[in-house]
Structure 1
Amino acid sequence: MSTPAPAVLPVTWAPRRNRAVLYALCAVLVVLFSVLAVVLPESWQFNDRVMMACSGLLFAAVGLMLARPKVVADAEGLTVVNFVRSRRLSWAEVVRVNFRAGDPWVVLDLADGTALAAVGIQPGGGREQAIRAARALRDLVEERGAGREEQRA
């Protein structure tokens, strides 16, 4: 039985298709609301126009926030970037990688008994791609994580 080759680190998983769509949508929103602010009827005041442009920027900011998720694996551990928060984990903190049928994204079981969503690995960019990414992450966790520490003891 051959052992799979170790992954070349660092590795980044992110829903690239979602990001591309969201970045394009954000650009369209900023342009659209800016154009609307300029072509509004003259009955609209200057502050109304500014608020229209600011609304486009606000909507784009929300879109950029939705495009943030990613999971980065390096030699020291994982960095999980979700919509609002980021969390740095050592390999020993991650006990298991879960990605069941119907799950919206990977869930990491942690050594402290909690779970952490890893939104950067999700089927939105393709179910098979997400399964491959979850398996690669699982293999890294098994190779470097808490299970390895238990085997040494």
Structure 2
Amino acid sequence: VHGTDLSTLSKRTRARFRLRNIGFVFQSGNLLPALTAADQLRLAGRLAGNRHVDPALVLESVGMGHRAGHRPGELSGGERQRVGIARALVNQPSLLLVDEPTAALDRRRSHEVVELLADRAHDAGVAVVMVTHDRDVLEHCDRVLEMVDGRLGAPVTA
């Protein structure tokens, strides 16, 4: 990642590198229940040493500016995913690793979330590696590879 062989780094240095260079979007969102959407982003920024995070700006970029003061329990599944995407982008990573972002969403929301990921990635020059079983969203992907029985297959046309 960024020309860095992560296997050569100490555990501590590797963790710091991940914090600053890799964003993670989880299937379930993994938002902290006690924190508002804005606080989720502030915390991610502070953990990476970025104290100049503007949560309102980042939340607005994913269409969630109006929900900045809401906790995860007050958000729909799609809204939680968008906050999770904002949190993953807050430190301006060069790589996003995304695990089944549409698993708990209906078809319309699934397309919205993956399109948002693709748009934000293109806008920020971020590489995205997404794992999904949802073939309906492949049209939003630049390149699709299929894994069958643990083996990476030929590229798939979306």
| TM score, norm. by length of structure 1 | 0.27
Higher-strand-fraction structure: 1
Bigger Rg over Cα: 1
